[in-house]
Chains A and B, each alone.
Chain A
Amino acid sequence: MIARSTVFEGKRWGVGLLFLLLAAFLAGCASAPIGQGGLLDFIQDGQTTKEDVLLKLGEPNALYEESRILTYRLSQDEKGWILLGPTKGWGEAFVNLVLVFDAQGVLRRHSQVKVRSP
């Protein structure tokens, strides 16, 4: 009797583990970046610092002029901006955020360049 119960418990654990693995597998398949509405709202010429940008947006896609100019690649969905990492070609990205800082690391100029159609 005890032995049968142990086998039953073992089977339940097996089925549970299988479901867990399946859920993890499907979760991996289903995950996609979701847009953030206010992602770029903090960016203001004359106020935002390079530190603010790096803390909020992370590592830029490219750096120019000894890190005085930073660029990020973005796409967009109905919820907002999606920050993308380096891609071969432009990939899913269609907007290039360009940030130009002064010697003190304060943002002087910026633009959202529409590089291609979504």
Chain B
Amino acid sequence: MKNRAWGRICGAASVLFLISACVPIPVLPFGDRPGFRQNIDGTVPAFIVPGQTTRADVLLVLGEPDRREADDTGFLYVRETEEGGLAFLVGGGMRGGIIGTPVTIRLLRLTFNGAGVVTDAQAKTGTVRDFGSDLIDKVK
């Protein structure tokens, strides 16, 4: 009888331990993340015409890119928006907090030739879960 009670306690403790590590919780759609730009929308802006638009034209309309190639042959503009849905509350032995928040990533990738003229423009949008790694790589 005593052994059974201990077994139940251990079982319950094990279940609690397991779910304490990762509890699904609802998160609100917080919108654009602080510190990220909002002036791209996941499409190639109409003013960008490969073969015509210059690097200066792009900078004057969109501002500094969020990432740039060392020789400025490539610009990457990034917008991150937190969507609502389910995320995970992490406890246990891991670093506590909410992880796995659904985030929509909008990217605008531009490449320039040696004369500083746009040669290619690509826009991409994808929704990924934020587990702390580089989200841009997941959408690229």
Using a CB–CB cutoff of 8 Å, the interface residues on chain A facing chain B are 61-62, 64-65, 68-69, 71, 73, 87-91, 96, 98, 100, 109-111, 113-117
Contact = CB atoms under 8 A, between A and B. Distances in A.
Main secondary structure of the interface of B (DSSP, over half): loop
Given A111-B60, A113-B62, 17 more contacts: A64-B72, A65-B55, A89-B34, A91-B35, A96-B64, A98-B64, A100-B56, A100-B59, A109-B56, A113-B39, A113-B60, A113-B63, A114-B39, A116-B32, A116-B37, A117-B32, A117-B38
Interface in B83-123: 116
Contacts, number: 59
27 contacts: A64-B59, A64-B72, A65-B56, A65-B72, A68-B56, A69-B55, A71-B64, A89-B34, A89-B35, A89-B36, A90-B36, A91-B35, A98-B60, A98-B64, A109-B56, A109-B60, A110-B60, A111-B60, A113-B61, A113-B62, A114-B39, A115-B38, A115-B39, A116-B37, A116-B38, A117-B32, A117-B38
Contacts of B35: 87-91
Contacts of B59: 64, 69, 71, 98, 100
Nearest to A87: B35
A115 B72 contact: no
A111 B62 CA distance: 10
Nearest to B33: A89
Would you list the 9 A-B pairs with minimal beta carbon distance, nearest first? A89-B35, A96-B63, A113-B63, A116-B38, A111-B60, A115-B37, A100-B56, A98-B59, A71-B64
